[in-house]
Amino acid sequence: MNHIARYRKTANLTQKALGQCIGVSQGAVGNYELGQRSVDLNTGWKIINALNLHNVKCKFCDVFPNPK
């Protein structure tokens, strides 16, 4: 399970706004958050970079924890 929604909300971003930052639709962001669509490595880094640009200090492993 990822923590995209938690960090997105901390950044005061809507799904649509985050999608615009990373070049995907609001629906894609929603599907990523629900785990209905997998996030590839490139998109994962785009999400991390977008969140950090919005003053949310997070690392890749914070948003995408290692599934044990």
State how far the Cα of 65 lies from the Cα of 39, in Å rounded to an integer: 13
Kindly tell me if the per-residue pLDDT of 68 is higher than 80: no
Number of CB atoms found within 10 A of residue 15's CB: 20
Q: Which helix (H) or strand (E) holds 39?
A: none
CATH number of residue 25's parent domain: 1.10.260.40
Q: How many structural domains comprise the chain?
A: 1
State how far the Cα of 56 lies from the Cα of 61, in Å rounded to an integer: 14
Q: Is residue 66 included in any domain, yes or no?
A: no
pLDDT computed for residue 3 by the predictor: 97
State how far the Cα of 8 lies from the Cα of 63, in Å rounded to an integer: 10
Q: Is residue 21 included in any domain, yes or no?
A: yes
State how far the Cα of 18 lies from the Cα of 34, in Å rounded to an integer: 15
For the whole model, what pTM was predicted? Answer: 0.94
pLDDT tens-digit series, residues 8-62: 999 999 999 999 999 999 999 999 999 999 999 999 999 999 999 999 999 999 9
